[in-house]
Structure 1
Amino acid sequence: MIVTSVFVITGANGGLGVSLAREAHQRGFQIEAVSRSPRSHELPDEVEFTQMDCAVQDEASAYWENLAQKYAASQDIVLFNNAGKYLNKPFTATEMAEIEQAFQANFFSSVYMSKGFASHFNSGTIINLNSYAGLHPKADLSVYGAAKAAQAYLYAALREELPSGAFRIMNLYPQRINTWSEEREADTIDKTEAAQWIIDMALLRGSFEITDCTLVPFGETP
C-alpha cells in the first residue's frame, strides 16, 4: 500500500494527540493513531486506530511489524512521539515506582517507537513533542524533566548517528498547552493552534536535521 504520507501519532486518546490527528486528517494525510486507552470519539472515522501501550517494548515491536506489512519500506512515514505522562511532585516524595513509570512513559515509549520505525523503514521523520521542562530545570519537575532531557539528548545524538538524509529528527519544547481543557487557559498554548503549527513544521522537511524549537504562547518572544 502506497500513500503520499503516513502520520503515526502516539498518545492520540485526547488533547494534543487528537488535535494533531484531526489537523493532519483535514489536510489529507493518512493517519495511524495510537493510544493505550480505547479509541476517542473525537477521532475522525477515517483515522486508523490501534490500542496499544508504546511504553511496552513487545507491544511497540509488534506494532511496527504489522505496519511494515501494511506499507512499503520506502513509504514516507512521519512519527509523532506525543505519548507521555506528566509528573509534578517533589523528588523526595516520589516513589521509585513512579520514577520508573515516568521514564517508561516519557522516554522509553519514544525509544521503542523510534527503534521499531528505524528497523522497518528506510527513511522518514521523527517529531518529538518534548517539554520546556526538559531544557529548564524546575522544582517538583525533577523526574519529569529528567526523562524529557534524556529524550532530547538521545535524538540530538541520533541526528548524527542515523544515515545522513534518511531520517529527519525534530525536537519541540512547548511550554504549557491546554491539553485537556476545551477553553484557553491563561499563559497556555491552544492545542488546536499548536497542532496546526506542528503539522506545518512536519512539512518543512529540510529543517529537521538542525532545528530545535522552543514553542511559547503565541504572540510572545522565546
Structure 2
Amino acid sequence: MELKNAVAVVTGANRGLGRHFAAQLVERGAKVYAAARRPETVDLPGVVPLRLDVTDPESVRAAARTASDATLLINNAGISTGAPLIAGDVDEVRREMETNFFGLLGAARAFAPVIESNGGGAVLNVLSVLSWLHPAGLGSYSASKAAAWALSNATREELAPRGITVSALHVGYMDTDMAAAVPADQKSDPAEVAAQALAGIEAGLPEIVADELTRQVKRSLAEAPQSNAA
C-alpha cells in the first residue's frame, strides 16, 4: 500500500507509539486522523484530532462516519493492567480484553466498509511479544494479545477479498509510558518501531516482528512448554 496520499486513522494517537505513527504518516504525505478518547490531548501539527474510544461502540461508529475517507486503520490503542488471570481482579481482566481484543475488532468492523468503499487499503494491529509469550504475572495482557493475534490472522483472510490487507506488529518493551518501569537498555525506540511497521504496511507484510527478543520468542513457538511439575 502506498502511504503517500493515504488517509489514516490512528487510535491512541495522543502519546507513545501512536503519536509516532501519526507524525511519521504526516511526514510521508498522508492525511491523518489522530484518534483519542480525549482529542483535546492531541498536540501534533498537521493531523485531524478525532474522538474515538475503542471501548465505546457508538464512539467508534461515529468516528467511522467522520473519517469516511479512510484507507488505513492503525489499531494502536491498548492498555496493560498487570492482572494475573487467577488472582487478579476479574473486572481488570475483562477491561483488558474489552480494549485489546474487542476494541480492535470493533474498529475493524466499523472501518472495513469505509476502507473498502474507498478502493481498499490496510489495517495494522499493534500486538506484542506477549502474543506468543505468556508469563503468569501478565496473564491478562498476554491472553488479550494472543486473542488479537488470532483476530489478525482470521480477519486477514476475511478481508482480503475486499481489497484490505491486515498486518500484525509484534514488539517487546518500548520506551513509552506503558513500560516506564522497565530498564532503558531493554526497550526499543518507538520511532524506529513505527518506521518498521509503516514499511511493513507498504510492503504488504502480514506480520512485522520489530526486535530481536520477539524474533527469538517466535522461533521458540514449536518447543514444548516448560513443565512446572515438582
TM-score (norm 2): 0.82
| Distance of 1:126 and 1:216 partners within structure 2 | 21
Contact 1:189–1:217, Cα closer than 8 Å, also in 2: no
Partner of 2:228: none
Task: Select the residue among 168, 172, 176 that pairs with 1:175.
Answer: 172
Contact 1:130–1:152, Cα closer than 8 Å, also in 2: yes
Distance 1:216 1:136, change over 3 A: same
SS of corresponding position for 2:161: coil
Amino acid in structure 2 at the alignment position of 1:203: E
RMSD value over aligned CA atoms?
2.2
Partner of 1:15: 16
Contact 2:42–2:49, Cα closer than 8 Å, also in 1: no
Task: Compute the displacement of 1:37 (Å).
Answer: 2.9
Q: Structure 2, unaligned stretches of length 5 or more?
A: 217-230
Q: Does 1:59 align with 2:59?
A: yes
Q: Does 1:153 align with 2:154?
A: no
Partner of 1:190: 189
SS of corresponding position for 1:186: helix
Partner of 2:100: 106
Task: Compute the displacement of 1:217 (Å).
Answer: 5.3
| Distance of 2:35 and 2:176 partners within structure 1 | 17
Task: Compute the displacement of 1:121 (Å).
Answer: 3.0
Task: Compute the displacement of 1:143 (Å).
Answer: 0.9
TM-score (norm 1): 0.84
More helix by share: 2
SS of corresponding position for 2:40: coil
Alignment of 1:193-212 (within 5 A): 193-205=192-204, 207=205, 211-212=206-207
Contact 1:18–1:42, Cα closer than 8 Å, also in 2: no
Q: Does 1:143 align with 2:144?
A: no
Contact 1:131–1:175, Cα closer than 8 Å, also in 2: yes
Q: Structure 1, unaligned stretches of length 5 or more?
A: none
Q: Does 1:118 align with 2:112?
A: yes
Deviations 1:119-168 (A, max 9, x none): 33312201011011111111211111111111111120122222426110
Distance 1:137 1:178, change over 3 A: same
Task: Compute the displacement of 1:41 (Å).
Answer: 5.5
Distance 1:19 1:66, change over 3 A: same
Q: Does 1:216 align with 2:211?
A: yes
| Distance of 1:101 and 1:137 partners within structure 2 | 18
Task: Compute the displacement of 1:195 (Å).
Answer: 1.6
Q: Percent identity?
A: 26
| Distance of 1:178 and 1:157 partners within structure 2 | 30
Partner of 2:226: none
Contact 1:88–1:144, Cα closer than 8 Å, also in 2: yes
| Distance of 2:115 and 2:166 partners within structure 1 | 15
Partner of 2:225: none
Deviations 1:10-60 (A, max 9, x none): 01121111111111111221111101134336412x200112311111110
Partner of 2:124: 127
